[in-house]
Amino acid sequence: MSHSIIKSALKPLILIATLFAFAVTTYTAATSADASSSDQSYSKVYKEAKKHLGARYVYGAIGPTNFDCSGFTKFVYKKSIKKSIPRTAQAQYNGTKKVSKSNIKKGDLVYFGGSKHSISHVGMYIGNGRMIDSQNRGVVTENVYSPWWHVVGFSRPATLSYDD
């Protein structure tokens, strides 16, 4: 087969591949624009979380009236900004963007346990060293740095806008 025959046969395939790449790029850009233009504000997430203060802690519960720690964070993100995050505290840590302590923002998740590979609790950071979480006293606000918690990491499940 000569090079000119091969080139002629490849031209339609190259055109199709180029058009496909353009379509994927356009769709991805439009989808990203839609996601960023939707209201993914911290105030929506916090407002939803606050609605559940006092709800009972029940191991394995995912809401809307009883929660365990990761069931609470999963519920709040899904209900407030339609963001789906993994079910367990360890999976939430593994499946979301890590941030450093110095870069933590309101709405980020704070993880506790023996290590980054042995996470047993998660709460949502609300600023000023405090979090809202579901634990044995139910859904409460409390200090992130308490004698009974060992912080092992932070993550950002969504890029939120801030009104303040």
Catalytic sites, residue numbers:
69, 121, 133
Percent of residues in the chain assigned helix, strand, coil, to nearest 5: 40, 25, 30
Please give the Cα distance from 132 to 113 (Å, whole number).
17
Tokens coding 126: 């609300």
Q: What are phi and psi of 139, to 5 degrees?
A: -80, 120
Give the helix/strand (H/E) hosting 85: none
